[in-house]
Amino acid sequence: MKVDVLLGLQWGDEGKGKVVDVLTPKYDVVARFQGGPNAGHTLEFEGQKYVLRSIPSGIFQGDKVNIIGNGVVLDPALFKAEAEALEASGHPLKERLHISRKAHLILPTHRILDAAYEAAKGDAKVGTTGKGIGPTYTDKVSRNGVRVGDILHNFDQKYGAAKARHEQILKSLNYEYDLTELEKAWMEGIEYLKQFHFVDSEHEVNNYLKDGKSVLCEGAQGTMLDIDFGSYPFVTSSNTVCAGACTGLGVAPNRIGEVFGIFKAYCTRVGAGPFPTELFDETGDNMCTLGHEFGSVTGRKRRCGWIDLVALKYSVMINGVTKLIMMKSDVLDTFDTIKACVAYKIDGEEIDYFPYDINEGVEPVYAELPGWKTDMTKMQSEDEFPEEFNAYLTFLEEQLGVEIKIVSVGPDRAQTIERYTEE
């Protein structure tokens, strides 16, 4: 068996949680491979709305194993709150959820360091979520991290050493803080974590594959936020691309099967950083309103713009995408004209590839297509798609070189249409 990978192709917020939930019935295992509680995966079904931060989106399918992989960073306090809310709504976790011993812990001082570093940058802020993600990955790479497996092995000494090191840094930054409440909640989270099944996830995933079980790897954020290939330095601190599934779960590259790439019918971004197709007019405001474009974790308003096919082609290439999934098609239902960026103009030169730096001086070159001016939210099959919408799909497939397999026409699980279905 091979593992299939599902990930975002833009700047995050593409709707990965919903699609994982829709695809999960086809899999035995769902495994999260990177990121932390800065990611918010929103799911809606049966009249209820759920926001997952660290827990894989396959958790609602009762007979599936869900794994938090070694590439994830975990905040025990936030995990406890998330897990208890799910259990209170009738979704038991303890027999469904496994946590890698090699996953790194976000400490209370990591969150304070995150705020201190952002404050020190002044106008050059990256726009982090303040969840301590960057400092945690920094400690991981510098070999100073505390891992889930350490909870049951020499924990007090390892936590104390990490805390002392962080407090020394904060002292050098002259940053004032109060650790009391954060640390209290965090320690309660540590005790709560002990109820779960800690595993060597690399062995577990590969044993499932050996036994013929199907595995879906769930990514967080999006390709354009990848630490290596995203719009650096306005990126996250992990590898959000397909290769991150190998390092974040311990599976070999030759075990990768299908790669599902998810994108919106338009484009959004949260926080600072370049965004070539961003709209500052009424059209952008309408996208934000119609798409309810506010962060599920931070509540921050998302910046909106037309779809960027230069960046999308780059994402498809980097990830080896085999199937595309387009979300929020219905948000564009009322627009007379739909635009798509097909090239960049930089210093008067037109290019159709993603360059080293898009931080300034990038002018989008647009193709224009007629809007479909049709309410798509009640549609249940591709046979109902208006001609103009089909033309938009065909245009995107020609530009990207990959079939759009699934189209979402609303937030609910049921508002998901599969295309090219076999007879």
Positions marked catalytic:
13, 41
- Distance separating alpha carbons of residues 180 and 251, to the nearest angstrom: 40
**Structure-token pair, residue 112:** 């304070």
Q: Tell me the residue ranges of DSSP E strands in 214-319.
A: 215-218, 256-264, 267-269, 303-305, 307-308
Contact 343, 277 (CB under 8 A): no
CA angle 18, 285, 119 (to 5 degrees): 80
End-to-end Cα distance, the chain: 25
In the chain, the amino acid numbered 219 is G
- Distance separating alpha carbons of residues 377 and 392, to the nearest angstrom: 17
Residue 339's contacts (CB-CB under 8 Å, 6 or more residues apart) are 306, 307, 366, 367, 368, 369
**Structure-token pair, residue 24:** 């999960």
What is the 8-class DSSP label of residue 316?
Answer: H
Q: Which residue has the tokens 């508002």?
A: 415
- Distance separating alpha carbons of residues 176 and 42, to the nearest angstrom: 34
**Structure-token pair, residue 59:** 């958790």
Q: Which residue has the tokens 């309660």?
A: 188
Q: Tell me the residue ranges of DSSP E strands in 330-390.
A: 337-346, 349-351, 362-370
CA torsion 301→407→64→241, rounded to 10°?
-60
86 by DSSP, 3-state: which? Answer: helix
